[in-house]
Structure 1
Amino acid sequence: MIRVIALTPAGKELAQRLRTFWPDSALDYKPKPFAEQVQRAFEQGESLIFICATGIVMRTLAPVIQNKRQDPPVLVLDEEGKFVIPLLSGHEGGANEWGSQVAQTLGAQLVVTTAKPYLNPVYTLGMGCERGCPLAFLESLMLEALDQNDLTPSDINSLSSIDIKADEVNLIALAEKYDWVFHTFSADQLSTMEAFLSSRSEYVYNTVGVYGVAESAALFAAHNVTGSEPELMLNKIKNAKATCAIGRSFP
């Protein structure tokens, strides 16, 4: 469900113009009570187009924003229809792509503030584990990680770990089962990702020389593919015998 919200007569005219292209959308002109109506639509998962000041939108939605994988896409337009800003859920929620469609429809300028939004991301898995970790522990944790991010094994570019795991039988087996390349990297290489880690373990550092194997490996692998700055799509999760993280970068 698309809902267009306008606060001025000029904004209403633009909203009506938009609805000729999205006839199933709803138009709210000066909804009252404003915050209650808008927050309810957002919490119900409606895709929202605001024709008003960005500050109004942020102050209104701030109490109900959850996270970028759960929140619906939100666009903000000026009342003249010159600019389209994907404000929330740019990558995961599709606001960037939707904003591009709206901008092309109106002949407007798309204003994107997220990183390289239209390039296909590279997803990488990083894993650490106890020596001799059973395949079932690795596989179940990996599938949980993918499920949390609506990914499938075919979305993954590679599986990576630290070089002391180069002969870890079931990491190799997991990569072979899902047709992934298995990479391992040295502690010196992985340490270059320290600034991007979500947390740091002194125990892991004292054991293998990096503050986190799964996150470091996922990040370094993502950077290695594209050469661009990587990010964690999923911070490290773990079970009794293994850890897993997902890295992402854009070409």
Structure 2
Amino acid sequence: MRIIALTSAGKALAERILQHYPNGTLDYKPKPFAEQVQAAFIAQEPMIFICATGIVMRTLAPVLQDKYQDPPILVMDELGQFVIPLLSGHEGGANEWAAQIAKKIQAQLVMTTAKDYLNPVYTLGMGCERNCPLSYLEDIMLETLQQKGLTPNDIASLNSIDIKADETQLIALAQKYQWPFHTYSADALMAMEPLLSTRSEYVFNTVGVYGVAESAALLAAQNASNASPELVVNKRKNTKATCALARGFSKT
């Protein structure tokens, strides 16, 4: 993630944002401006511009392709009052990213796309080997959140299949991050089967559902929001655990 700032006030705002995104970088008055910005765009780098929207559009116009290929682009005013997802709102994740930043710095999210992303509900689903160590669970969980720039504070609940209801380290993980821990029957999880990114016959033959992590995350997101859930991060795994992230949208 790269922040482009053109004024001293914009630079101060960028430094404030980067406190929440330590892996991000700041480009203060990059020169030559157009060449630097266009190169980052072509390299698929998500960017926040702290400047006028017109400057951004005129600069990026020569390299724009479509909403499926362009990286997410946000625009902010130098006072940090407003966050605008300008490009790749749905497909590229700019809406979601803008909502995160608005929440972190107490700014106003300005949405121009049709779907309301103001109140996303994020839920984690996890599966694991019996007696899986906490470190394996925590590592894969943090990697999953990092993929979307989220933190544990953004998560509404941790979820799994009911045969994991007594899994001590899943319980410990939920307690560490103060999440509710929910488990569901295989029959309930099977309702999410059409939304899965992958289907494992081995897992189905073992526990009766084609994917524990994705199914549990999706069902929890649906229950929390009363709306159609969607996968935000498909199942990730290490040698002992799996993790997936889903999202719904609250009515409040």
User: Counterpart of 2:73 in 1: which secondary structure?
Assistant: coil
Is 1:165 paired with 2:191? no
Equivalent in the alignment of 2:98? 94
Q: Give the corresponding residue for 1:217.
A: 216
Gaps of 5+ in 1: 4-24, 26-33, 75-83, 104-109
- 3-state DSSP class of the match of 1:173? helix
Q: Counterpart in 2 of 1:61?
A: 64
1:230 match? 229
Contact in 2 for aligned 1:175/1:181 (Cα 8 Å): yes
TM-superposed deviation, 1:111? 4.4
State the SS of the aligned residue for 2:243: strand
- The alpha carbon displacement at 1:66 in A equals 5.4
2:74 match? 73
Q: Is the 8 A contact 2:157 2:181 kept in 1?
A: yes
Residue identity (%): 55
Q: Any idea what the Cα deviations from partners look like across 1:179-218, whole Å, max 9, x if unmatched?
A: 1111000111111111211111111111111111001100
In structure 1, the residue matched to 2:16 is none
CA distance in 2, matches of 1:199, 1:220: 16
Residues 37 and 128 (structure 1 numbering): CA distance in 2 closer, same or farther, change over 3 Å? Answer: closer
Contact 2:68 2:88 in 1 (8 A): no
Within 5 A, what are the aligned runs for 1:23-42?
A: 39-40=38-39, 42=41
2:131, 2:109 → 1: CA distance? Answer: 53
| Conserved 8 A contact 2:221-2:246 | yes
Cα distance in 2 for partners of 1:102, 1:244 equals 29
SS where residue 182 of structure 2 aligns?
strand
Aligned to 1:194: 193
- CA distance, structure 2, for counterparts of residue 142 and residue 37 of structure 1: 34
1:116 aligned residue: 116
After TM superposition, the score normalised by the length of structure 2 is 0.65
Alpha-carbon distance in structure 1 between the residues aligned to 2:194 and 2:64: 31
Residue 225 of structure 1 aligns with an amino acid whose one-letter code is A
Identify the residue that residue 249 of structure 1 maps to in structure 2: 248
Q: Distance in 1 between matches of 2:133 and 2:216?
A: 20
Please report the TM-score for the alignment, with normalisation by the length of structure 1.
0.66
Deviation at 1:87, TM superposition (A): 4.0
Deviation digits for residues 45-93 of structure 1 (CA, Å, limit 9, x no counterpart): 3648469xxxx96x9422897576xx3238xxxxxxxxx9944234134
Query: Which secondary structure state, in structure 2, belongs to the residue aligned with residue 94 of structure 1?
Result: helix
Aligned length: 202
Maintained 8 Å contact 1:39/1:64: no
Classify the secondary structure of the residue corresponding to 1:131.
coil
Task: State the distance in 1 between where 2:41 and 2:163 align.
Answer: 48
User: Does structure 2 conserve the Cα–Cα contact (< 8 Å) formed by 1:126 and 1:246?
Assistant: yes
Gap change, CA 1:174 and 1:153, over 3 Å in 2: same
Structure 1: which amino acid aligns with 2:187? D
* Cα distance change, pair 224–60 in 1 and its aligned pair in 2 (3 A): same
Give secondary structure in 2 for the equivalent of 1:220.
Answer: helix
Secondary structure, in 3 states, of the residue corresponding to 2:137? helix
Q: Secondary structure at the match of 2:209?
A: coil
Over alpha carbons, which structure has the higher Rg?
Answer: 1
Q: Deviations over 1:128-154 (max 9, x none)?
A: 001111111111111111222221111
The code of the aligned residue for 2:178 comes to: D
How far off its partner does 1:40 sit? 3.7
Structure 1 residues 242, 38: closer, same or farther in 2, change over 3 A? closer
CA distance in 2, matches of 1:250, 1:179: 21
